[in-house]
Amino acid sequence: MLCWKGSSVRRKEKTALLPVYLNVYDLTPMNAYGYWLGLGVFHSGVEVHGVEYAFGAHEAPSTGIFEVEPKKCPGFTFRKSILVGKTDMAAKEVRVFMEKLAEEYRGNKYNLISRNCNHFCNEVCVKLTQKPIPRWVNRLARLDQGKKEFRRDDGPIYFFVFFDT
């Protein structure tokens, strides 16, 4: 006989699905031109539960993860917000996850090509939504790594060569 009333079986309360956004910023005014050509240099942050989390460089061996007001990251020009997916993680669970990532993402380990803010955002989005960030956001890092992994959904890539006469 099963007795549900007063049972010691604990069930996780269902949490409403909440949106997870990737907020993308321009690092340089040249993005105004390069963006339409399929190129750009971008900073990104993940917005969830009304907080934006991002990763940046500094010289200390402490975490490079920081929080800002959504769409207002100092030093960058906001470009767009992209709905990556939804999460059922509560705010407290997200905070615990960020604290775990803090050990991995130290400011003095930041690398523009192999461990930047976009890599951080991709890892966070995959954990929260099971979906990666759009490939174009970190395209410049992939270009510099010399990878030939561009797909049709990456959009066009144009290379310009200037000759000094």
Give the dihedral of Cα atoms 93, 64, 76, 159; nearest 10 deg. Answer: -110
Which of the residues are catalytic? Answer: 43, 117
CB 89 within 8 A of CB 128: yes
Taking the mean position of all CA atoms in its chain, how far away is CA 25? 11
Instruction: Report which of 112, 1, 138 is spatially closest to residue 57, judged by C-alpha positions.
Output: 112
